[in-house]
Chain A
Amino acid sequence: MKSEMRHKLAQLTFEEKIRKVGELIRLRQKIKTAGSNVSEEAALLASLDKAAAELNAGKGVPIERVREDIREWAKSPKNPKK
């Protein structure tokens, strides 16, 4: 902020300054709330990525793979795909 502007703001009455501090707090809270939604979404995506990585690492079987296997088994039940 320019020094001239800061000096002007410093000349406001205390009541006006406190009102402006209240506005700043509200603005920060809004930004924080928006930020926390973004981080929640990021956390969800990260957990999905982790789950997918775990599945690919053999800790589970992807649902698409299960469906594909079931289709295979349905076609030739004697030779299920391993």
Chain B
Amino acid sequence: MSNEPPGIPLADVLRAANELLSAGLIEDYALGGALAAIYYVEPFTTYDADIIFVATDSTLSAGIPAIYSHLQSKGWRVEREHLLVNDFPVQFLAASGLTEEAVRNATPIEYEGVAAKVFRSEYIIAIAASVGRHKDLARIEQLLKHAKIEKTLLDDILRRYKLNLPKL
């Protein structure tokens, strides 16, 4: 038997997010972070999946305890800030402001037969510009080179959130 870890269980992650949606634990969600960028550019190494959700619960905890408890009841494990499915770390992050707008305007996709949504490339660029780490700048460069960008939308997002693209 192979000791190699299984691949990224993204279909399971998206299925679980859809369950949270059906159960009314979240209002909306989209795939964000590195995996969302990979939707548009060449594959690169990443160690987790980011699910950005719009909370139905408006309290400070944004319903995260209920989300954790639901997923744990489905066999997911908790390890620090991550939930693990088949040993693959997933972060559920509550959306607000720019990220909430990114979720609301995300692109519908189908992954291995599972319906989901992924951040539009323009929002990934704007979010990366707002975070500004070295890897975010690299992500912006990759997306500008290889993804189809709607420039008017990107400019509008950048203007409304007072963001600037770095000089590459």
Contact = CB atoms under 8 A, between A and B. Distances in A.
Interface stretch (A2-10, A42-50, A51-59, A67-75): A2-10
Give the interface residue-count category, chain A: 20 to 34
A12 B40 CA distance: 9
Interface residues of B, number: 24
B46 interface: yes
A15 B40 CA distance: 12
Q: Is the interface of B mostly helix, strand, loop or mixed?
A: loop
Interface string B13-46: 0000000000000000000000100111111111
Most buried by A among B5, B6, B43: B43
A29 B3 CA distance: 12
B63 to A, nearest CB: 27
A81 interface: no
Contacts of B35: 18, 21
Contacts of A14: 38-39, 109, 111
A3 B145 contact: yes
Interface of B: 4-8, 10, 35, 38-47, 109, 111-112, 142, 145-147
Given A10-B41, A18-B7, A22-B8, 17 more contacts: A1-B42, A6-B142, A6-B145, A6-B146, A7-B42, A7-B146, A10-B40, A14-B38, A15-B111, A17-B42, A18-B43, A20-B43, A21-B43, A21-B45, A22-B6, A22-B7, A24-B45
